[in-house]
Each structure stands twice: as structure tokens, then as C-alpha cells.
Amino acid sequence: MPLSRSAIIHQTGSADVFSIESIAVGPPMAQQVLIRHTAIGVNFIDTYFRSGLYEVPLPAILGDEAVGVIEQLGEGVTEFEVGQRVAYSSSKGAYTQYRCIDTQDIVPLTDGVGDLAVAASLLRGMTVEYLFCRLYELKAGETILIHAAAGGVGSIACQWAKAIGATVIGTVSSAEKAAIAHANGCDHTIIYSQQDFVKEVARLTKGKKVDVVYDSVGKDTFMQSLDCLKTRGLMVSFGNASGKPDPFDVLTLSKKGSLYLTRPTLYHYTQSREELVNSAARYLAMLEQGNIKVSVGKTFRLDQVADAHRYLTNRERIGSPVLIP
């Protein structure tokens, strides 16, 4: 029974609420495996649980995303073997050295992808996979608008869209982030603090507008995003970085060109084991083939988790931090 150093919160609050403790990890139960983590992703949602914005039963070990090596198999496990590298993107309890986890939550890794890149991006990469491959099959020659084009999801989306052959227009907050988006394949960048992105989209497309808008910002961009769509265009509202959009009259969609609107989540696109494995495999293949390169942020020791949270909440930082247990 290994002792596992873990970052635990007994109360919510600032980044200083973490306590580093050693806990005993029991053997895996049926259909579980014992994992030794090698890299742990730190995502912005973790700060919501830590601060108390989102509720979590206390005490808690935060973190949903990690890479590790299987140390022990539980009864009935046949899909995996001891020594195999695996990853997961949505199973709380990652801020620890060892953990037991259900096999239905993990996916296999190949030798061609690195631990840090996967730990920093699997959730975001699978998000782009379902947005581009299943919610709406993005095709070569189409034109799309991506908000927050230099962000975690945006950076992957720009690269994936260019690999497909789409034309990408992206909004960013600064010239520095415009350069990052451009390096990731964004054809046209709009600095929304200086330019009216609706007018810029119309200019760049010569009035034709775009086929799809991918909006993770929410309240601040929602209504203007609808004005960027061509007739029968699709609005994908998949995030609320600025707050949830205000309620609106559904007839607005008709008036603006018989538009389509969806508000999806990754959870509903990975409900079956087959969907989860296939989604991860498509993203990992893009990584392995070099179609997507991930900007990994600073690495921190597990006992520096408070510093990792402070790094993450500094909006000027590029790349997601990773904990090394």
C-alpha cells in the first residue's frame, strides 16, 4: 500500500489553502488500476473549485487531468497492463502521486506523445476534436471565427482548422497574442480591444461572413458573434469566460439568417467508452503527426501547487502549467 504525497484542501479560499500530506492508497478495486502520476495538468476550472466558486466536497484533492504509468491491475482488468502509459482528462483527484482510477476513465498513450504535452492539453484537444469532427464536421474551404484564438483551446483549434484546410479568423486581446495565434495558423487576427470584430469579419470576408463561430467567451461576444454568420451559419457557444450570455428572443436567429445555435459540452460527446477512446485517439494522432504543437507552461513540483495556481491566474502567461509529482 503506497503512501502518496497529495495536495489537499480542507477549506476553500486563496491559493494558500493547499496542504501537502501523505495518504495511504489502497489496492485497486475491480475494474480499476493503480496509477503513478508522471505529469498533472492544472486547469482554470481547478481554481474555481479551490476558491469556492464551484462547490466540491471537502476535504478534496483537485485536478481532473493527468498522465501516469499503471502500477497494479484490479480484478477483471483486461484492456490495460502493468507498465502501460495512460492519461485521463475528467476524473477529479489528480493532484497526487498515486491514485486508483476506473478503467473507463483512462485512455492509452503511444510512445510518440510526451507526458507534459498530454497533461497540459488532453481536455482541450478532445474539446476541439468533438467541435470540429462530430458536432459539425469542419471542411476545407470553409471560413470560421474563433474567439480567444491564442488561448488553450484556441491555439489547438487554429492548428487543427488549418490542417483541415479551413480559413481561420481569430479574436485576441493584444498584439502579442495576435502573433501567437498567427503562428498557430490563424489567417487573420482581430484585436478586439482596438477593432470592431463584426466589421472586421465583414471586411475580411468581403461581406460573405463565416460558416461557423466558436465562442468560448460568452456574454461579451455572444450577440455580436451572431452578426458574423452567413445565412444558415452555426453559432457554437461552448464557454462563459465573461459570464453566461443574456437570454434572447429565439426569433433573433430567424431574423439574422435562419441561424443555428448550440451550447455543447465535452461530457455529452464522450458518454460512451467508444466515444471517449476515439476522441482521445484522434487528438493524440494529431499530436503525434506534428499537426498540433502544444505550448506547455512552467512546470512546478507538487508541493508548489499554490504557485502553479497563481501562475495560471496571471492572464499574461502563455501555456498551461504542469505539476510534476
Interval 299-315: pLDDT, tens = 999 999 999 999 988 76
Domain ranges of the chain: 3-121+294-324, 123-267
pLDDT tens digit sequence for 210-233: 999 999 998 899 999 999 999 999
**Mean pLDDT across the stretch 24-42?**
96
Strands 143-146 vs 210-215: parallel, antiparallel or unpaired: parallel
Q: Is CATH 3.40.50.720 the classification given to domain 123-267?
A: yes
Per-residue pLDDT tens over the stretch 264-297: 999 899 999 999 999 999 999 999 999 999 988 8
pLDDT at 218: 85
- Read out DSSP for 92-150? S--SBSEEEEEGGG-EE--TTS-HHHHHTTHHHHHHHHHIIIIIS---TT-EEEESSTT
% of the chain with per-residue pLDDT over 90: 86
Here the cell at position 176 is: 502579442
Residue 186 has pLDDT above 80, yes or no: yes
Number of H helices, E strands in the chain: 10, 16
Q: For the whole model, what pTM was predicted?
A: 0.91
Question: Looking up cell 457557444, which residue turns up?
Answer: 237
Q: Region 61-65: what's the mean pLDDT? A: 96
CATH class of residue range 3-121+294-324 = alpha beta
Name the average pLDDT for the chain. 94
In the predicted structure, residue 154 carries a pLDDT above the cut 80: yes
pLDDT in tens, 76-95: 999 999 999 999 998 999 99
User: Does residue 34 surpass a pLDDT of 60?
Assistant: yes
Distances (CA, A) of 130 to 138, 147, 240: 10, 17, 18
